[in-house]
Homo-oligomer: A and B are copies of this chain.
Amino acid sequence: MLSERRLQVLRAIVQDYVGTEEPVGSKALTERHNLGVSPATVRNDMAALEDEGYIAQPHTSAGRIPTDKGYRLFVDKLAGVKPMTAPERRAIQNFLEGAVDLDDVVARTVRLLAQLTRQVAVVQYPSLTRSTVRHVELLALAPARLMLVLITDTGRVEQRVVDCPAPFGEASLADLRARLNSRVANRRFTDVPSLVEDLPEAFEHEDRGTVSTVLSTLLETLVEENEERLMIGGTANLTRFGHDFPLTIRPVLEALEEQVVLLKLLGEAQDPGVTVRIGHENAHEGLNSTSVVSVGYGSGGEAVAKLGVVGPTRMDYPGTMGAVRAVARYVGQILAES
């Protein structure tokens, strides 16, 4: 195992490198952190750390930079989560409280996260599958065409147009609307299928086809995984990425455009707390030089969706983790209130 001092050296390297963006040498280290030993000693420690794969040199006789493995150790053992200060917390709360609807909550959260962390922010809309139904509305667009509107407890709204196999009277419509709501209101999405399966039987034979169609559209809407939406922001922060820029930034922007990739990215993190995925730990190739810091958030005790940031592996982990955690907490509160 690594001695205490070597861990300190690693910590110092990570901190300095994150601050300066430049490979850090033994002399600079002893000057900026009082490790109580000479540069030569630090050099020995560095050599050991390099053997173990925690740091690397870009070229011979340059300073060292942390590897993914080095960052991993730093995050797991050497650094805590830096809590937000009281004024910061107030600012977060104030900013989020001004939101008028769910879209606005998500939009504000994205802006906030991007500003706080100076990185790219990703916020998933509250998931359908883990929410409950607040109301189902049915509107007649035409004799044989309905609009189905689904409203969730988190304020999310989904709508679908339903083409009916046969004309559907206003009375039947009102009946279906009432029955549907009495069964599913305030129930979890996952319970809905079993709650409505016998519903067609309550209707006249000629209406059953339509009722079934409506129900299957409803169920589709509930399960449709790829309808998971998300919002991103702060892409301008990518320009602070590094010097060798176009090559690095391109795949990241491309990855960010792929909703699927992002959802998978957020989805991978199963930890109840803040999750950090560093460099090559990310499955997606374009994100191999980035780290993703994410966490679940929710209106109750349970997470209904995730949010996080994407930034260079060389990032301020404690600060970022603190910001992500704090924002998630307040968003949860806001959602619970509305």
Q: Are B238 and A253 in contact (CB under 8 A)?
A: yes
Q: Which residues of B contact A137 (CB under 8 A)?
A: 135, 137, 149
Contact of A246 among B147, B235, B239, B257 (CB under 8 A): B239
Given A151-B139, A249-B239, A338 contacting B234 (CB threshold 8 A): no
Give the shortest distance, in Å, between A226 (CB) and chain B (any CB).
10
Give the shortest distance, in Å, between A305 (CB) and chain B (any CB).
16
Q: Which residues of B contact A102 (CB under 8 A)?
A: 159
CA distance A249 to B239 in the complex (A): 8
CA distance A100 to B217 in the complex (A): 11
Given A101-B158, A103-B229, A137-B137, A234 contacting B257 (CB threshold 8 A): yes
Cβ contacts A to B, 6 pairs, < 8 Å: A134-B139, A149-B149, A155-B159, A157-B159, A235-B235, A236-B253
CA distance A299 to B239 in the complex (A): 39
Q: Are B239 and A250 in contact (CB under 8 A)?
A: yes
CA distance A176 to B236 in the complex (A): 47
User: Is A296 in the interface zone, CB < 8 Å from B?
Assistant: no
Q: Which residues of A contact B (CB under 8 A)?
A: 100-103, 134-135, 137, 139, 141, 147, 149, 151, 155, 157-161, 229, 233-236, 238-239, 245-246, 249-250, 253-254, 256-257, 338
Give the shortest distance, in Å, between A38 (CB) and chain B (any CB).
39
Copies in the complex: 2
Q: Which residues of B contact A234 (CB under 8 A)?
A: 257
CA distance A137 to B134 in the complex (A): 13
Q: Are A157 and B161 in contact (CB under 8 A)?
A: no
Give the shortest distance, in Å, between A175 (CB) and chain B (any CB).
16
CA distance A234 to B249 in the complex (A): 13
Contact of A233 among B151, B246, B257 (CB under 8 A): B257
CA distance A245 to B239 in the complex (A): 9
Given A137-B137, A139-B151, A160 contacting B101 (CB threshold 8 A): yes
For A111, the closest partner residue in chain B by CB is B257
CA distance A100 to B254 in the complex (A): 24
Q: Which residues of B contact A239 (CB under 8 A)?
A: 246, 249-250, 253
Q: Are A159 and B236 in contact (CB under 8 A)?
A: no
Q: Which residues of B contact A155 (CB under 8 A)?
A: 159, 161
CA distance A157 to B151 in the complex (A): 11
Given A149-B151, A155-B159, A257 contacting B236 (CB threshold 8 A): yes
Q: Are B236 and A161 in contact (CB under 8 A)?
A: no
Q: Which residues of B contact A159 (CB under 8 A)?
A: 101-102, 151, 155, 157
For A185, the closest partner residue in chain B by CB is B139
CA distance A147 to B135 in the complex (A): 10
For A217, the closest partner residue in chain B by CB is B100
A139, A151, A159, A250 — most chain B CB neighbours (10 Å): A159
Give the shortest distance, in Å, between A233 (CB) and chain B (any CB).
6
CA distance A289 to B7 in the complex (A): 49
